[in-house]
């Protein structure tokens, strides 16, 4: 399950999707909005995605994970739009037969998503705003 | 040939819109497009990186562009 959604994300739905009887391990990562960054108070975040390409890049990441670990099911859900502190920005859920592979595959998927998926985050502060990672 | 370009994130702010039409010579490559955009909008040179997606795939510099390609400017990503 790979989705880009502009409404609040449902953790239980992702966990239910990956929970299958063949798998003895379900691992999840939930990325949430922090209320500060580099000493500045973050009022809100705005995420945008090149949706079609984000889905296809995430599909590639999931395929690469499947080549390395015995993955049963994967859910990757990313939020777009305006988010406030504590809101969920991304959910990764992975099921595997045993726990070690589930940790490793989950970490690989979130790390690679951050590098390649065409998704952008703007932080809005009390006194300005910034597209994250845009400038050196 | 007329290229229709999609812009996201800071690239949209730099150009001032989500879409941009650009006239380029037939046979122009991804690298040619980047140079043209950087000359027209020097702020692109200040970014950490600048990628071009062609039909939803990251394009390499030598890749030739065609009029009906879906072209997108991909500034540094920051999902997750």
Q: What is the DSSP string of A12-58?
A: HHHHHHH--TT-SEEEEEEEE--SEETTEEEEEEEEEE-HHHHHHHH
**How near does any CA of chain A get to the CA of B42, in Å?**
14
Spell out the domain ranges in chain A.
2-122
Identify the CATH number of the domain defined by range A2-122.
3.90.1170.40
Whether the CB-CB separation of A116 and B74 falls below 8 Å is answered with no
Residues in B touching A31 (Cβ below 8 Å):
80
Does the model's ipTM exceed the 0.90 cut?
yes
Nearby residues of A66 by Cβ (< 8 Å), 6 or more positions away: A74
B35: buried, middle or exposed (CB in 10 Å: 19+, 13-18, 0-12)?
A: middle
Of B13, B14, B9, B54, which Cα lies nearest the Cα of B32? B54
Task: Walk along chain A (136 residues) and give the pLDDT tens digit of each residue.
Answer: 999 999 999 999 999 999 999 999 999 999 999 999 888 999 999 999 999 999 999 999 999 999 999 999 999 999 999 999 999 999 999 999 999 999 999 999 999 999 999 999 999 999 999 999 999 9
Does B72 touch chain A if contact means CB atoms closer than 8 Å? Answer: yes
Compute CA distances A3 → A70, A91, A113, B23, whole Å: 22, 10, 13, 35
> Do A118 and B47 lie within an 8 Å CB cutoff?
no
CB atoms inside a 10 Å sphere around CB B38: 15
A6 is written with which tokens? Answer: 């502009």
Q: Model's pTM, two decimal places?
A: 0.96
List of domains in chain B:
2-74 (3.10.20.30)
Angle at the Cα of A28 from the Cα atoms of A10 and A116, rounded to 5 degrees = 90
User: Checking DSSP bridges between strand B51-54 and strand B57-58, what pairing results, if any?
Assistant: antiparallel
């Amino acid at each position: 399950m790979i989705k880009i959604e502009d409404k609040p994300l449902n953790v239980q739905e992702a966990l239910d999707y990956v929970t299958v009887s063949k798998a003895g391990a379900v691992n999840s990562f939930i990325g949430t909005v922090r209320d500060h960054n580099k000493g500045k108070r973050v009022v809100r975040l705005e995420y945008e995605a090149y949706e079609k390409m984000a889905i296809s890049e995430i599909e590639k990441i999931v395929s690469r994970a499947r080549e390395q670990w015995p993955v049963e099911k994967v859910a990757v859900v990313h939020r777009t739009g305006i988010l406030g502190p504590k809101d969920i920005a991304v959910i990764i859920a992975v099921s595997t037969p045993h726990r070690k592979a589930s940790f490793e595959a989950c970490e690989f998927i979130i790390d690679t998503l951050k590098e390649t998926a065409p998704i952008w985050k703007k932080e809005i502060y009390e006194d300005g705003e910034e597209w994250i990672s845009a400038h050196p | 040939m007329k290229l229709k370009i999609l812009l996201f994130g800071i690239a949209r702010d730099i150009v001032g819109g989500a879409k941009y039409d650009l006239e380029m010579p037939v046979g122009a490559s991804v690298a040619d497009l980047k140079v043209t955009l950087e000359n027209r909008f020097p702020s692109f040179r200040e970014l950490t990186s600048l990628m071009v997606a062609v039909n939803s795939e990251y394009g390499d510099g030598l890749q030739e562009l065609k009029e009906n390609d879906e072209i997108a400017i991909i500034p540094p990503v920051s999902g997750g």
